[in-house]
Structure 1
Amino acid sequence: MAGRVSVPAPEPADPTSAMADPAPAMADLPDPVAAARRFVEQRGFPGLRAAFVAGSVLTRHRTPTSDLDIVVLLAGPPAPFRENLRHDGWPVELFVQTEADWHRFADQELADGRSPLLHMCAQGLLLADVDGLGATLQSLARQRLAAGPPSATTAELDRRRYEITDALDDLRGAADLAERLYLATQLLHKASELALRAEGRWLGGGKWLSRRLGAADPALHHALTSAVTAVATDAPDGTQRLVAAVEQALSLAGGPLWAGYTLGRPDS
């Protein structure tokens, strides 16, 4: 069993190359919800109050490498802890918390503008709900998600604008393809996050960042991803296309920022 930790749940992610065993075919795997329910029942969690299953396994994005993201609420110890394991052929990411842990982790994530825990409980399926806590937390998670993350501060947006503008200047001057590729992936990530924060949307990590931007601004999502593909294939107009797409994201937060940007100066 993994050691106990007191950190919020990370964004649900599908394990790939880090997995020790090859992924089975979809036809060889049992129904994910049934597998998750069996896992909770067989594990016999002491003081079980509620359990959720969530993630890509509940959506059209399900693949043989998708996780069973399982959130378990207990009355007390051994919570809180997280653990990665396999059950019925499925990789499982397990997050075990008390009610107090859940609120603390959700508050921590909320401050960062991203909350995998809220998403898992709002969009997941209740596997067990002994005393009504599961339904209560699911309702609260849905309310918080609908309200959106805290608005980005001017300082946060300015920092993001500066970092992107600086990387754009490097991209314009990069002659080496490998350097352009590293810069392009950096800009894809940073521009996507800036656009989401400027528009008051939730952030996400990895594939969830792509999905969140794709849902919030499909045109910008396409412009950024197609431009990065052009850079990666060394297309003649790759850099020009990526600059234009990133500047489109910058325009949502006030445009490029470099000269005049300060950080930590007492009179700034």
Structure 2
Amino acid sequence: MNRLSPIDAAQAFIEKHFPTCQGALLAGSVSRGEATDTSDLDIVVFDKNLASAYRESLIDFDWPIELFVHNLTSYNVFFEDDCKRARPSLPRMVSEGIILKDEGVINTIKQEARHLLQAGPENWSEEIITTKRYFITDALDDFIGASDRGEELLIANTLTELVSEFVLRTNKQWIGESKWIIRSLRQYDEAFTEQFVRAFDLFYRTGEKGKVIQLVHTVLSPHGGTLFNGFSLGKEA
């Protein structure tokens, strides 16, 4: 397909649809130099005349486009919500984004995003860590005891999410979804990430559970290990 380059297409899109906006960024895999054949264009727009923020998916200039449109204050709510979830999607896009247009607003917004990213998420309380230990233990026991292949696969998927979240949050790191799980792990500790991938890959390929079981125990050990006996949630004194 003969189409405009990502940056040219994004700039043409802004000129066509948002000619009076105050700022625009091209974010996502294209801005990081990680684009694939299925990559889309993540475009963030700042328009002071917009009443409220919105998101839209469309195709233009032969490119699939994910559009994130804000006025000059609405993005702050999304920054805050993303950080509370420990999944800083919008701050990451703004921080990494290539400037397509700027009428003096982008640098300030980028600085805000970078400050949030550098600060990291809030620390987990001991109560949260205890609760997460229990749910990981419960999933691990199910994993060890399962003999149905379909159940084993789905429990393993649950463990990948619970364990990756636990490792990252107990080390004050941002988490992610889907491909951002492994990216977040690699940003934190490449050696651990390789161990994590090898353990689950071995299970998915051969059904061998030992490496996954060992990995979970290693992750929980600094925080008291697995937890079942004595765990209580919501009980009144």
Aligned residue among 118, 123, 126 for 2:91:
118
Cα distance change of structure 1 residues 65 and 103 upon mapping to structure 2, 3 Å threshold: same
Q: 2:105 matched to 1:133?
A: yes
Q: 1:96-175 residue pairs with structure 2 within 5 A?
A: 96-130=69-103, 132-175=104-147
Alignment match of 1:206 (pick from 178, 183, 191): 178
Q: How does 1:12-51 map to 2 (within 5 A)?
A: 28-44=2-18, 46=20, 48-51=21-24
TM-score, length basis structure 1: 0.83
Residue 96 of structure 1 aligns to a residue whose secondary structure is: strand
Deviation at 1:261, TM superposition (A): 1.7
Instruction: Give the gaps of 5 or more residues in structure 2.
Output: none
Q: Distance in 2 between matches of 1:147 and 1:243?
A: 33
Q: Which amino acid aligns with 1:193?
A: E
CA deviation after TM superposition for structure 1 residue 252, in Å: 4.8
Deviates more, 1:56-65 or 1:180-189: 56-65
Distance in 1 separating the partners of 2:182 and 2:121: 18
Would the aligned equivalents of 2:51 and 2:71 in 1 still touch at CA under 8 Å?
A: no
- Give, as a single letter, the amino acid of the residue that structure 2 aligns with 1:171: F
The two structures have a TM-score, normalised by structure 2, of 0.93
Give the Cα–Cα distance (whole angstroms) in 2 for the partners of residues 147 and 40 of structure 1: 32
The offset of 1:29, in angstroms, is 4.5
CA-based RMSD of the aligned residues comes to 1.7
Q: 1:103 Cα deviation (Å)?
A: 0.7
- Cα 1:214/1:261, change in 2 over 3 Å: same
Q: Which residue of 2 aligns with 1:264?
A: 234
Give, in whole Å, the separation in 2 of the partners of 1:116 and 1:84.
Answer: 16
Alignment partners' CA distance in 2, 1:78 and 1:38:
24
Please say if residues 31 and 96 of structure 2, whose CA atoms lie closer than 8 Å, have aligned partners that are also in contact: no
CA contact (8 A) 1:188 1:225 kept: no
Confirm whether residue 239 of structure 1 aligns to residue 209 of structure 2: yes
Distance in structure 2 (CA, Å) of the matches to 1:221 and 1:29: 37
- For the residue of structure 2 that corresponds to 1:85, the secondary structure is strand
How big is the shift at 1:170? 0.4
CA shift for structure 1 position 58? 2.0
Matched, 1:215 2:160: no
Contact 1:171 1:183 in 2 (8 A): yes
- Runs of 4+ with >6 A deviation: none
**Residue 70 (str. 1) matches residue 35 (str. 2):** no
C-alpha distance in structure 1 between counterparts of 2:56 and 2:41, whole Å: 12
Aligned counterparts of 2:72 and 2:131: Cα–Cα separation in 1: 35
Query: Which has the larger share of helix?
Result: 2
- Does residue 89 of structure 1 match 2:39? no
Contact 1:52-1:72 at 8 Å conserved across structures:
yes
Which amino acid in the other structure matches residue 38 of structure 2? T
Distance verdict in 2 for CA 1:162–1:34, change over 3 Å:
same
Q: Runs of 5+ in structure 1 lacking a partner?
A: 1-23
- Assess if the C-alpha contact under 8 Å between 1:53 and 1:124 holds in 2: yes
CA deviation digits over 1:2-54, x for unaligned, max 9? Answer: xxxxxxxxxxxxxxxxxxxxxx6xxx4532122111111111355x1211111
Query: What is the count of residue pairs matched by the alignment?
Result: 237
The 8 Å contact of residues 25 and 94 in structure 2, kept in 1 or not, is answered as: yes
Deviation at 1:160, TM superposition (A): 1.7
Supply the distance in 1 between the matched residues of 2:15 and 2:24 (Cα, whole angstroms). 10
